[in-house]
Amino acid sequence: MKNNKIAIIGLGYVGLPLARLFATKYDVVGFDINQKRINELQSGLDVTLEVEEAVLTAVLKTTNNTDIGLFCSSNIEDIKNCNYYIITVPTPIDKNNRPDLTPLYKSSETVGKVLKKGDIVIYESTVYPGVTEDECVPVLEKISGLTFNTDFYAGYSPERINPGDKLHTVDKILKVTAGSTPEIGKKVDDLYASVITAGTHLAPTIKVAEAAKVIENSQRDINIAFVNELAKIFNLMDIDTHAVLEAAGTKWNFLPFKPGLVGGHCIGVDPYYLAQKAQEVGYHPEIILAGRRVNDSMGQYVAAEAVKLMVHNDIRIKNANILVLGITFKENCPDVRNSKVVDVIKQLKGYGTKVTVYDPWANTEEVKLHYNLETTQNLPKENKFDAIILTVAHNEFLNEDLNILLNSAGVIYDVKGFLKTNVSKRL
């Protein structure tokens, strides 16, 4: 297997850690259409903070030679001699919550242009069952002129990257694998097993592996929706939800989910992929979509609860100054994809308030590009606020004395149940 040359297509939160890992044992080309990203990576800089500079530079190569290591490029010529192509592009949803397979189609077209006899194309992107063989493979066949399972083959190994998690890194998370034939499944499994210390699980078919991935996040989404609904109920009963969950958590088999905003590239998206496919085959998924409705409603709910808290303190809502702490989709991570904090901000502005967003992790230019919102990486200590809403549990927020930022009647609303003292209310 040492003679294998691997191309990783897409060098984001999933692709880069995988490329770095494979480059410890193989000749790897990391391909991405973003030239700025390529320039940064070749200089040792990963703006996603998933791979540390020292770790990245340890495997980087300055030329696309046959040595073990990683060479990053946006030139399709640099991947034409590979025999494994691993596609790790995003799978988003559109404005109507329908799967958008455009990145998969485009990346499949790119690979199709260099595909050769005997090559194996592996997809890691989260999809509904059938996408690899029914949607992507026909693109590969059309562009390459080759025949599936005769001239080239496919595999699927769903990503399980947890952005910002330095404990559960890619090599320490068990990997599900699958191939378009039993023989190819074994090859795909062996390839991953050579670098994944946590081990692998070879699924019997690609569709099984696709289904396994999409239900992982759908299950989490439903569980979080349940506790979000509990939070709404207990709030009406004037009961502390976090105290209830702490008490219930003393039972050995209680699942420790917490209420909050559910965004990101997986949990807030994947259930829609499964729901779409379910409807195509004639089944209307009630629980899955109900969970999505609850979680998608939380931005509006958080804003309304914060405003109610302000009203109770006789704070005038129109033109009130509100500080929102955090805009990334999760704590201690710069990833702003599908952040549900944006829903909170939109609702607050709808009440006529003035919103300041502070997030030491989020790239201000990226937030502006994706959401047309102004943010700051520096705590605005010169201002006084009528309300502070903590939406993301960044560690930095624990070190700030938030009370000095408040007006005399100001309130603190803690969505995450993260702050230890002086909180007016928790979700």
Burial of 84 (0-12, 13-18, 19+ CB in 10 A): buried
Structure tokens at 226: 């349940």
Distance CA 425, CA 26 (A): 53
Task: For residue 136, indicate whether it is catalytic.
Answer: no
C-alpha torsion 201→203→208→209, nearest 10: 40
What tokens appear for 14 in the block? 């999933």
- Cβ 349 vs Cβ 343: under 8 Å: no
Determine the Cα–Cα distance for residues 219 and 136; give it in Å rounded to an integer. 26
- Mapped onto helix, strand or coil, the DSSP state of residue 37 is helix
Helix count (H) and strand count (E) of the chain? 14, 13
Q: How far is CA 266 from CA 45, 198, 338, in A?
A: 25, 22, 9
Of 72, 82, 136, 266, which is the active-site residue? 266
Q: Do 389 and 402 meet the contact criterion of CB atoms below 8 Å apart? A: no
Tokens of 380: 């605005």
Q: Catalytic residues, which ones?
A: 266
